[in-house]
Amino acid sequence: MRGNFLITNSFLKTPFPHLASLIHSNSFEQHPQSIYQKVADLDDAFNLFDQMSQTRPLPSVVKFTQLLQSVTKMKNYSHSIHLFKKMVALGVPLNEYSMTIAIKCCCQLYRTNDAFALLGFCFRRSIVPNVFIFNALLDGLVHEDRILEAEIFFKKLIKQKLCEPNVVTRSIVPNVFIFNALLDGLVHEDRILEAEIFFKKLIKQKLCEPNVVTYSTMIKGLCKIGNNVIAIQLLRLMDERGCRPNVVAYSTIIDSLCKDKMIVDAFKLFKEMVFQKGISPNVITYSSLIDGLCSLGRWDEASKMLQEMSDVGISPNVQTFSILVDAFCKDGKVEEAENVIDTMLERGIVPNIVTYNTLIDGYCLRGEMSKAKTIFDSMVFRGLVPDVVTYNSLLNGYCKSLKIDEAVDLFNEITRKGLKHDVVTYSTMIKGLFQVGRCGDARKLFDEMHAKGQMPNQLTYGIILEGLCNNHQDRRGIIFVSFNG
């Protein structure tokens, strides 16, 4: 990584002679694009910047901005900001385009506060911000989950009250990309009702014409709360308003229908998408249908769908295989699930933590702890880091098998690995202790749970009440219920 660089006169001795001939100011103007097209990496970019910095008069801001754009396209955002600061130090007269790049880079690095500081810099330099700058700032706030701030900022834009003393800004007309960013933020935060109100306001007040991303985002939100009927109505509205639905919109609803076991409706929509709309399904579409069929135990149809998927040239991905592993495990076919993982590895597809967690849980539920531990070790060997879900499955398996010492060791290992016990971890361990008659230890663990700020849920209370009663401590159980309401 390049740090502070020196401005020298040794450019012609550098390993980048293809840039040397274009170094003088006239050359920059005569070759407006070719020089930047030859910037292949950061070394090229920094060497070119060195030479531009030495040229007198300095190249125009357009040339510096083109170089910034080249570095940004490499996704070297921090280096772009570094070069931008050097531009400022050189006294290059900045414009809205160079400011846009710097602000976007800050937002990409989750430094939105710095991006807003640059907005203030715009005003002080009498640079009128353009819509791309405001897009970047709104996107930055949304990506940092600062949704309320994004909404407040957006309202200021709408009312055209964005100004600084002695600076007059032009009216900014927010475009559909800004609305999409805000809508996506609301959906991401599960504020679906607010998203729906916001979406309706867009159409009713004609703030913008929603595009396929706007509709697809709203459909995603509706499906998250299981409102498939309204989601399908929105799909129809897209068509009516001349916005052609895409595979994302269709696949989102198909997936939601499959999760709700409405497989007939899912296939109707699938056929409409393919045969009426001419939209090709993708791996997500097929994976959703396979998941729906497996959840209903319709293995033969799921197998045919998997074959159809391959026939049309779509390769199953890790999510597809994970769905199969999950379905086999839920049906008690753990060996078949393990065979699926073997197939994945043969195809060069690396199972993820979800895939392994599912298989480990499958063996734990059958009490095959040695097999579960073997899968666990295999997962770690392949470089995957167990999470609290992994440990909870093993913990549950040990407790069900009454191997309480192994369970206690594992419970302590979770902390040593830097993970936090969640309500499932505590509830499982408490139940295991009660099962072997260690009521005092179970109560101590319940107290520790409170002390660590982990709130018990109804399942936890039920486990404690059942544990006390099963260990002939009915009176304590009654007191416990009275005390905990």
Confidence of residue 32 (pLDDT cuts 50, 70, 90): very low
Overall pTM surpassing 0.85 (yes/no): no
Residue 444 confidence (pLDDT) above 80:
yes
- Domain range spanning residue 405? 387-485
Write down the pLDDT at residue 160.
Answer: 55
Contacts of 298 (CB under 8 A, 6+ apart): 263
Look at residue 479 and tell me if it is in a domain. Answer: yes
CA geometry: angle at 125 spanning 120 and 126, to 5°? 95
Domain count, the chain: 1
Look at residue 423 and tell me if it is in a domain. Answer: yes
**For residues 404 and 382, is the Cβ–Cβ distance under 8 A?**
no
CA separation for the pair 274, 280 (Å, rounded): 6
Mean local confidence (pLDDT), 366-379? 93
CA separation for the pair 33, 22 (Å, rounded): 11
Give the tens place of pLDDT for each residue, 342-357: 989 898 888 999 999 9
CA separation for the pair 391, 111 (Å, rounded): 35
Name the residue among 290, 298, 369 with its Cα closest to residue 325: 290
Q: In degrees to the nearest 10, what's the CA dihedral of 215, 221, 226, 228?
A: 0
DSSP string computed for 452-469: TT----HHHHHHHHHHHH
Give the tens place of pLDDT for each residue, 198-225: 899 888 887 778 999 999 999 999 999 9
Look at residue 138 and tell me if it is in a domain. Answer: no
- Range name among 100-114, 169-183, 311-325, 448-462 with the lowest pLDDT average: 169-183
Give the tens place of pLDDT for each residue, 288-318: 999 999 989 898 898 899 889 989 999 899 9
Write down the pLDDT at residue 484.
Answer: 57
Write down the pLDDT at residue 30.
Answer: 47
Per the model's pLDDT, the better-predicted residue between 403 and 14 turns out to be 403
Q: pLDDT exceeding 90 applies to what percent of the chain?
A: 44
CATH of the domain at 401: 1.25.40.10
Mean local confidence (pLDDT), 320-336? 90
Look at residue 316 and tell me if it is in a domain. Answer: no
- Please list the residues that pair with 420 across neighbouring strands: none
Give the tens place of pLDDT for each residue, 251-278: 999 999 999 999 999 999 999 999 999 9
Please list the alpha-helical segments (H only) found in 91-169.
Answer: 96-108, 112-124, 131-143, 147-159
Look at residue 392 and tell me if it is in a domain. Answer: yes
Write down the pLDDT at residue 168.
Answer: 28
Tokens of 362: 């499958």
Confidence of residue 480 (pLDDT cuts 50, 70, 90): low
The radius of gyration of the chain's CA atoms, rounded to the nearest angstrom, is 30
Write down the pLDDT at residue 9.
Answer: 34
Look at residue 412 and tell me if it is in a domain. Answer: yes
Mean local confidence (pLDDT), 377-400? 93
Look at residue 456 and tell me if it is in a domain. Answer: yes
Mean local confidence (pLDDT), 369-388? 93
Look at residue 244 and tell me if it is in a domain. Answer: no
Residue 397 confidence (pLDDT) above 90:
yes
Residue 247 confidence (pLDDT) above 60:
yes
